[in-house]
Copies of this chain bind each other. A is one copy, B any other.
Amino acid sequence: MDREVARGHVLDAAEELFYGKGIQAVGMDDIRSLSGVSLKRLYQLFATKDRLVEAYLERRDLGWRRRLAEHVETCDDPEGRIIAVFDWLELWFGEPGFRGCAWINSYGELGATSPTVATQARRHKQAFGRYLETLTDGAHLPRDLAGHLLLLAEGAMVTAGILGAPGTAAQARAAARLLLESARRTRPPAPAG
C-alpha cells in the first residue's frame, strides 16, 4: 500500500475516532483497527500519538476552512457572505455525528497539558477570526463586527454541541443580522464613485 494512501487512511480513522469519542478515549490500536494500517506502519508514518493528533487537527483545519470558504463564495453580495457563514454553521450542526467544535473539544481535553493541542486550537481560532475580518473588510464594515461575529459563532458551536438545540445556528444568524445592521448604520458603505 502506498505511503500516502496509508497516511490518508490513518488520518481518516483518526478524525472519525478522535472527533467522535475524544482523543484520550481512543487508543492507537483503535486507529489501527479502523484504518487497516498495521501498528508498525502507523508508527513509521507518525512517530507518536501526539504527532498523529497534530496531523489530525492540521488536516481538519484545512478541510473545515475550505468547506466554509467554498460555501461563503457561492454568495456574491459582501454582506450576504457574512450571513452565509451562519448558514454554513447550520448545515454543519445538522450533519450526522456533529459533536461540537473539534478544537474547542480538544482544547478542553488537552489544552492544559499538551502544547501541541493548545497551539493547534489557538491557530485555528485565529485563522477563523482573520477570515471573518476579510469578510467584514470586503463589506467595508468595521473590524469590531468581525470580533462580535466570532463570539457569536463560537458560542453557537458550543451551544449546539452541548445542548444540541436545533435552532442555535438560526439564532446566531439572527443576532449576526442585528449586529451587521448596527455596524452598517454607524459606518455606511463607501460612497459610490
Contact = CB atoms under 8 A, between A and B. Distances in A.
Interface size class of A (residues with CB under 8 A): 35 or more
Given A178-B182, A182-B182, A163 B25 contact: no
A178 B118 CA distance: 32
A112 B108 CA distance: 13
A126 interface: yes
Interface in A46-78: none
Contact residues of A: prevailing secondary structure: helix
Interface stretch (A2-10, A34-42, A133-141, A145-153): A145-153
A187 interface: no
A3 to B, nearest CB: 31
A153 to B, nearest CB: 7
A11 interface: no
A121 B100 CA distance: 13
A176 to B, nearest CB: 9
A155 interface: yes
Contact of A125 (B20, B107, B109, B159): B159
A171 interface: yes
Contact of A155 (B21, B152, B179, B181): B152
Contacts of A20: 112
Nearest to A109: B109
Interface of A: 20-22, 24-25, 99-100, 103-113, 118, 121-122, 125-126, 144, 147-148, 150-159, 161-163, 168, 171-172, 174-175, 178-179, 181-182
